[in-house]
Amino acid sequence: MAQVEAHFGQPLFLRLPGQGMRPTPFGRQKLAAFESLLAQARAILAPAAGPGGEMILGVYPTLGPRHAPRLVRGFTALFPAARITLVEGDLAELARGLRGGRIDLALVYDAGLPADLALTPLQAVPPHVLVPPRHRLAGAPSASLRDLAEDPVILINLPHSRGYFLSLFQICGVAPRIAAETGSIEMLRAMVANGMGIGLLATDLPHDLAYDGGRVARLALSDPLPPSRVALARAAALPPTETATAFLEFAARAMAGP
C-alpha cells in the first residue's frame, strides 16, 4: 500500500490509532475507480452469456440490399445485445477482410472464392431474365436463352458475376449481343424497363418496379442452368465468435425457404 501511495504522491488511507484505516477523499475516488476496473475485468473473464457485442458483416453489393437488412433486423430482435455493422465490398475485398479479422462473416455468392474460406450455404437461386413490359415474350411464363438470342443484353459486370452470366449463354450455345454493362442491379432494371435490352439476374426481387417508375417483366429460364449459390463465408483459420455462430445458424434458418 505504501508503494501505491508513493506512486500517487498522497495517501489513500488515514491510519487512525485504535480505529484502523479510513480512506481519504482522494482514496475514496481511487477506490471507486478500482472497483469499476474489477467489475470490467470480471465481465471480460466471465463465461459468455449469449450472443452480444459487435459483429462485422461484409456484404456483396448485389446481395446486400436484398437480404442483409432483413437478416440484421431479425437477428437483433432475437439477440438485443448484439450489434451488426455492415460493410460492402467485392469478393476480393471481403476475402481480405475475413482473413485479416476485420470482418466476421460475409454474405457472398459461392463462386470463385478462395479455399481458405469456410462456407455456410444459404440458398440456391435459379437465374431469370428481365424483359421490357412490351417485349414479345412479356406474358410468357418462361423462355429459353435461344428464344432471346437476338435481343440486346444488359450485363452485370461485377467480378465473378459477369463470368457466371456469360457462362449461362455458353451452356446454351448462344452468343449474347451485349448492349451495355453495369455494376448495379437497379441500373440494369431501369435500363430494361426503358427498352434498352434484356437482363439476366440471380437476385430475385419481389416487385416489378424500377427506380424511375418503369416496370419490368420477369421470365423464368426453361434451360437447365446452374443456380447461383448464396452463402455466408468466414475465415477457416479464425474460430467464429459466439455471435457469429448464432448469426450463421439464424441466417441458414431464415433463408431456407418454405
The band of 258, judged by pLDDT with boundaries at 50, 70 and 90, is low
pTM reported for the whole predicted model: 0.75
Q: Assess whether the region 53-123+229-254 and the region 127-226 belong to the same CATH fold.
A: yes
Q: 53-123+229-254 has which CATH code?
A: 3.40.190.10
* CATH of 127-226 among 3.40.190.10, 1.25.40.10, 3.20.20.70, 3.30.70.20: 3.40.190.10
Give CA–CA dist 148/131, Å, rounded: 10
The 10s digit of each residue's pLDDT in 44-84 is 665 555 788 899 999 998 888 999 999 999 999 999 999 99
Distance of CA 167 to the CA centre of its chain: 25
Q: What are phi and psi of 191, to 5 degrees?
A: -65, -40
Q: Which of these, 199, 252, 192, lies nearest to 67 by C-alpha position?
A: 252
- What are the domain boundaries of the chain? 53-123+229-254, 127-226
